[in-house]
Amino acid sequence: MMLPLFLFAVGLLLMWQPRTKRWRARLLAHFNGDEQRVRQRANTFFLLGFAFILTALAYLYRLTM
């Protein structure tokens, strides 16, 4: 029962992380100020977090059946 909750929490964290100033500043420095690559990386993290949330919902659905 703990795995779906863990996956849900990790998914939310992955979706929220690219919105922080520190994360953005570090990636801008890493990509030498390339905004497009920073946005692309943020979108990738958002999709990964969404996948974790969908996986958690699938596990919860299987546990209730």
Digit-coded pLDDT (tens) for 25-49: 999 999 999 999 999 999 999 999 9
CA atoms in the 13 A half-sphere facing the CB of 29: 6
Q: pTM, whole model, 2 decimals?
A: 0.85
The whole-angstrom separation of Cα 21 and Cα 42 is 12
Instruction: Compute the mean pLDDT over every residue in the chain, rounded to the nearest whole number.
Output: 93
Model confidence band, residue 18 (pLDDT cutoffs 50, 70, 90): confident
